[in-house]
A and B are shown apart, each in its own frame.
Chain A
């Protein structure tokens, strides 16, 4: 199977604290892969490290065989909701339009084609009626869909989402998952960071279990069977499963 992301010996420090320890793992293309681990296990760090958002100490990452610089324009990143200032004076439409900004251009304007794409993606996530709302006025699920729409507007091949299911209702979770599945079915690769294996796990095709080190990875069915989860979490997670 084609590898979307190949990570070799990735080691990341936050100042003096080791956050990721020699992680080598690959992510298959055309799949929904979950990166699962307890709090502070380095899941978000892994994402930020491979996308060059934070500096890495050691290790290499390639995307479909090419470097981050070459592949960057085909990656969409959906940040964690705590990292967003919801009082910021920005409208739904403006957030989604961010997906159309291109670097290396001095004059950054929204073209007619961009506007059209923004409109289309808002329709896809069912937020057309909220275009001119300030983002803080939306519900948690709607807010998450705005950021998903921004990722869609990028027309990316690889979509990377950091904890998209935190603080949202069931209906929004369903609608996000159905969009994610459509993306996968159209051949895109989706990577989702999530904190446990409850509920949403059944939507993942493959899972990477992380706790500073790589604990295990593989198809979800195998991972659920094995004792790996205990290694990552102890017993608590099993109890959370329904």
Chain B
């Protein structure tokens, strides 16, 4: 196999691993929707980063993504504190506003003479084949960071997810915990959109863990199974997308993931009932 195929597979595996890890904790903290909001709201950041820098450099685009993703989470938590609006309303509104802004900016760029070079529309549905070796180094660094934070903090994140009042009473900071989880989500999303795209990124966070949850109630097996489903489907999906020339990577990966979820549900014959 030539180098570019290896880059694709290693890149996809890194995305799958990180997304499954972070997804497990967003799922446990009942923040799956926040993952969706973040993935949609990084679009304006990516486009803006491209407009300013004029190049499709993954690090710069990720910085842009991080900035607007962070802005979106700040807006969500600010509105939650200051208004009486329900959480789902706030998340849905934030998601749409940022995404609309991103789409408008994207259309503006593509109308310019240098369009096509950017390939920014790949961010909508993902195109893993566009990955290069520098991207891979960056992905490896981000993944290592996410794995390290998860390893050192999983007990605290897990306990917060289960009983945050108890953790606050013990002197842990809720805002710090939220900040860490949000930052990890933003990083994973910024990385993952290259493969899956903005629109489907949240599925890559949620589906591995929900599939795993049908099979176990123990944290360790939950994490292990999420990793297997997330990474396996990412690899299989990107392989299919390389075979069939014009199929974007994102939908392929999510289709494989969904197949796993549905198969598990059917095998258990208790559709979507979680195991106790």
Contacts and interface: CB of A to CB of B under 8 A. Distances in A.
Name, among A69, A83, A84, A108, the residue most crowded by chain B CB atoms within 10 Å (CB to CB): A108
Interface residues of A, number: 34
Kindly list the 8 A-B residue pairs having the minimum CB-CB distance in the complex, ordered from nearest: A77-B169, A89-B217, A134-B217, A108-B155, A103-B171, A51-B169, A72-B171, A134-B276
8 contacts: A53-B165, A84-B163, A88-B28, A89-B222, A101-B155, A106-B152, A110-B155, A136-B276
Given A101-B159, A107-B152, A109-B155, A91 B218 contact: yes
B234 to A, nearest CB: 23
A150 B163 CA distance: 12
Contacts of A90: 158, 162, 217, 219
B170 A88 contact: no
Interface in A71-101: 72-73, 75, 77, 79, 83-85, 87-91, 94-95, 98, 101
A48 B165 contact: yes
A167 interface: no
Contacts of A2: none
Contacts, number: 77
A108 B159 CA distance: 11
B209 to A, nearest CB: 10
Contacts of A72: 169-171
B101 interface: no
A101 B156 contact: yes
Interface of A: 15, 48, 51-53, 69, 72-73, 75, 77, 79, 83-85, 87-91, 94-95, 98, 101, 103-104, 106-110, 134, 136-137, 150
Contacts of A69: 171
A83 B165 contact: yes
Contacts of A91: 217-218
Given A52-B168, A84-B163, A137 B276 contact: yes
Nearest to B209: A89
Interface in B131-174: 152-153, 155-156, 158-159, 161-163, 165-172
B169 A53 contact: yes
Contact of A98 (B163, B219, B222, B274): B163
B127 interface: no
B87 interface: no
B156 A108 contact: yes
A73 B153 contact: no
